[in-house]
Amino acid sequence: MIAAKGLDGIVVAQTNISHVFGEEGRLVYHGYDIGELAGKATYEEVCHLLWKGTLPTRAELDALNTAMRAQRTLPDGGAGLRLLPKTTNPMDALRTGVSLAAAQLGIKGTPTTDQAIALAARFPTIVATFHRLRSGLEPIAPRDDLGHAANYLYMLTGVVPPENHVHGLDTYLVLLADHGMNASTFTARVIASTESDIGSAIVGAIGALKGPLHGGAPALVMDMLEAIGTADNIKPWIDNALNTHQKLMGFGHRVYKTTDPRAEILRDMARHASTPEFFALAKGTEDYAIQELNRRKPDQRLYTNVEFYSAAVLNSVGLPRDLYPATFGVSRVAGWTAHVLEQMVGNRLIRPQSEYVGPQGLKFVPLEERGLATIS
């Protein structure tokens, strides 16, 4: 069998972690529709759900919180991140920081939940430490009295964040924690299938997430909205973009054939968290873009995806725009590590075939006869 380009429609694994029901516009984590969790469960509860398959009891949540608090600091205190140029892409800093931490912690062997906790707990610290250092500021240590989302914002600014910012970021982290067999998750599972360590698998996943077709879109959405500028400019700007075959950021998805359910939740959050002017710009852009995309490309069924309103929510909690992809990683590490753990149950090396379309039967000709000999 020859797979479609991009592996469209190919099932590469069985999983009980999460699934995207593209035709219905549903996302499920271990049986829970995402709407049952977003804004209700904390990110830490969802980590337990993804790693263990059930929502935690009070005792289990307390134990997980204790374990994560114990793992938030960097083994070298951030010394390795100090060596990076201030102009380093934050995703490169995250990749480097995770690789350093995994090596310094001695992570090796068969992946374990404790190793997943050790990595997930440090993601916010790595991003915040690098951001402080590139800004000419000293890193801020995490606080034991703050949860995962609150600590991330606190370590970035040194100010305990308001509750609405914590709730907004925590909901975002829950929504992005896993999403079926996406490119970065597949990358992590391929690496894990070789019986490499969990640190290597997560570093590989970060590399996949860095690509603008995967994790970089929310920042590009903000660039697009800024370029549009005002509600009056929505129609001429989008018309020009589509007429000149430019890509509209935040629309379309390889799996969803209707509105991304995460986008619907984030839209409602953005309505309350953004200024009225910004939300009017975003909603107007969404409405007209969908209208035009469906009119011009009716067979493609292009709708709003999670990146569109992720931009608005992350902007509303005060995150610098170039930290959006790394913040995606702060969330998705829960899913990546869950898939690595699942891959190792009855593991088989993921080793697909390829279709060779190159030449055959060529004969070697010595260099002298190819007319390429060096003239002495």
Interval 27-46: pLDDT, tens: 999 999 999 999 999 999 99
The residue among 19 and 9 whose pLDDT is bigger is 19
In our burial notation (b when 16+ CB lie closer than 10 A, e otherwise), range 144-165 reads eebbbbbbbbbbbeeeebeeeb
pLDDT score at 289? 93
Is residue 268 pLDDT above 70, yes or no?
A: yes
Does 253 participate in catalysis according to the annotation? yes
How far is the C-alpha of 25 from the C-alpha of 20, rounded, in Å? 8
User: Which two tokens mark 272?
Assistant: 């309350």
Domains and CATH numbers, the chain: 16-211+326-343 (1.10.580.10), 217-315 (1.10.230.10)
Question: Out of 253, 286, 292, 339, which one is annotated catalytic?
Answer: 253
SS3 353: coil
169, 73 in Cβ contact below 8 A?
Answer: no
Does 307 participate in catalysis according to the annotation? yes
251, 263 in Cβ contact below 8 A?
Answer: no
**Single pTM value for the model:** 0.92
CB atoms within 10 A of CB 370: 9
For residue 249, what are the CA distances in angstroms to 34, 135, 222? 23, 29, 9
- Kindly report, residue by residue over 67-97, the tens digit of the pLDDT: 999 999 999 999 999 999 999 999 999 999 9
pLDDT score at 287? 93
pLDDT score at 367? 85
pLDDT score at 197? 98
The residue among 337 and 366 whose pLDDT is bigger is 337
Across 299-305, average pLDDT: 82
Across 350-371, average pLDDT: 90
C-alpha torsion sign, points 144, 215, 38, 54: negative
pLDDT score at 373? 55
Is residue 376 pLDDT above 60, yes or no?
A: no
Is residue 19 pLDDT above 70, yes or no?
A: yes
Question: Out of 44, 45, 292, 307, which one is annotated catalytic?
Answer: 307
Is residue 184 pLDDT above 80, yes or no?
A: yes
Residue 334 confidence class, pLDDT cut points 50, 70, 90: very high
pLDDT score at 266? 92
Please name every residue paired with 27 in a beta bridge, in sequence order, or none if there are none: 20
Across 210-216, average pLDDT: 83
pLDDT score at 361? 96
318, 166 in Cβ contact below 8 A?
Answer: no
How far is the C-alpha of 329 from the C-alpha of 309, rounded, in Å? 17
pLDDT score at 240? 96
Cβ-in-10-Å burial (0-12, 13-18, 19+) of 304 comes to buried
pLDDT score at 355? 84
How far is the C-alpha of 270 from the C-alpha of 288, rounded, in Å? 18
- Kindly report, residue by residue over 231-261, the tens digit of the pLDDT: 999 999 999 999 999 988 888 776 667 778 8
pLDDT score at 372? 62
pLDDT score at 22? 78
Is residue 303 pLDDT above 90, yes or no?
A: no
pLDDT score at 220? 85
